[in-house]
Amino acid sequence: MMASSSLRNVPGLAIGKRAYFMETQALPTETERRGLLSLLKAAVTGEQKDYTTGSLNMALFMLAVPMVLEMAMESLFAVVDAFYVSRVGTEALTVVALTEAVMMLVYSIAIGLSMSATAFVARRTGEKNLKGAAEAAVQAIYLAVLVSLPLSLAGIFFAPEILGLMGATQSVIAQGTNYMRIMLGGNIVIMLLFLNNAVFRGAGDASIAMRVLWLANILNMALGPLFIFGPGPFPELGVTGAAVATTTGRGIGVLYQMWMYSNQRSLIRIHRDNFGFQRRMVMEMFKISLGGVSQFLISSASWIFVVRILATFGSAAVAGYTIAFRVIVFTLLPAWGVANAAATLVGQNLGAKQPERAEKSVWIAGFYNMLFLGVVSVIFYVFAHEIVGIFSKEPEVLRTGVQGLRIICLGYVFYAYGMVIGQAFNGAGDTRTPTILNLVAFWLVQIPMAYLLAKTSNAGPFGVFAAVAFSFSLLAVISIRIFKMGKWKTVRV
């Protein structure tokens, strides 16, 4: 009943809300005037820079297209990488699953730092203060470098011990130590890749962020089979080769980002006079980042516990979940592109003193996201066996993967709104609210529920998947209710 009530009151969903979208110039009208191909080209090349005036539908389109394409390439890489690694064997997939559970902590920190960068840069951009936006970008880079150093040392010196804590067998530890060392030891490229792209998105330069990830992931996919299987002059490194390819591709992506900071096509251009360390700004940024980091650490740490519970059912269960998770990411990452577009619109319009416009952008983004993920959920449920079968034919791996894909995608309609609203809070600089909500949904609901269903009630992996779907749906419903209260509109950045 709570879910039904919350979604019924969301603008753009209920009957009679159509006028909500007509308050701004509608996208079809603009499409008729310019043509769809012309609009797509403008979005991909980054033609529009100011998103505080004009049609909200158009602003969302111009931001979301490159962000969705950016995330689509990231999700394609995740699936392709899983395909290559699955050819090495089940233990190689287990190495990736256990390492990624740890790397989620790194991603959480990188995303948390990126939240403050997006909030600061978007707000300054909305105020038409590009010098202040460039200064915020530099301070965020300083913060990212400092945070990455201890994580690199931990990965380089304690990789086997970390895998052991994750429940890996001795054979998995032997095969996965170098993979863990490279991925965790080279986390600086992840930090900077996430953070710099967040800067470009916050400024409205989403097309630059798109090109960065396309470059990095095309290199990842090209180098992956070369280093994994070792054709010709390339060394056959097995699962370690996947880490080498990923780190190399991302590193080149970071170099491209740094070059774009001096390019005339970028709104954010860093000059020598921006390099000074600004303690006050760093502290303010750190405060917002702390909420963002905590927010994603909570969700990522809960994911580690989920994988740890699945590991008690054997490598096949973990491998099946890994395949299902990669396929799910394939569609959730493009959906995150829409959510990121909403975050930019919120930050820029709050900076331009237009909170109502900021709120409308969120409801519109959530509605389109719901349509997309609703269609995807039907496809996944009907064709789960065929999709998972692409990656593995082992009966137990296949069974677990199909089960996980079907159960988790049942919550897609809720995820659609949940991710958009969560990013809207972050784009406003309110990282505290999503942090508390994540703590409730994941630590107080998901982990206990997963353990009780899987172990105490003997539901096995099915119980884990059910807990994941329920907790994410609950998070979305609560987020909608709190967002409608409007306190996020008063946050100062």
Give the model confidence (pLDDT) of 101-131 as tens digits: 788 778 878 888 888 899 899 999 988 888 8
Which amino acid is present at 69?
L
Strands (E), 254-390: none
Cα–Cα separations (whole angstroms), residue 388 to 83, 88, 196, 354: 10, 17, 34, 46
Q: In angstroms, what is the C-alpha Rg of the chain?
A: 22
SS3 state at 275: coil
pTM of whole model > 0.85?
no
Which residues lie below 8 Å from residue 249, measured CB to CB, with a gap of 6+? 215, 216, 217, 218, 219, 220, 223
Measured CA to CA, the distance from residue 475 to residue 82 in angstroms comes to: 28
Q: How many residues does the chain have?
A: 493
Region 404-428: mean pLDDT is 91
Q: Where along the chain do its domains lie?
A: 2-490
The candidate with the shortest Cα–Cα distance to 9, out of 487, 481, 488, is: 481
Measure CA of the first residue to CA of the last residue in the chain; give whole Å.
37
Taking CA 175 as the corner, what is the angle to CA 169 and CA 176, rounded to the nearest 5 degrees?
Answer: 85
Give the model's pLDDT for residue 45: 78
The mean pLDDT of 278-307, rounded to a whole number, is 83
* pLDDT tens-digit readout, 342-386: 999 999 999 989 999 999 999 999 999 999 999 999 999 999 999
Rounded distance between C-alpha atoms, residue 61 and residue 462, angstroms:
38
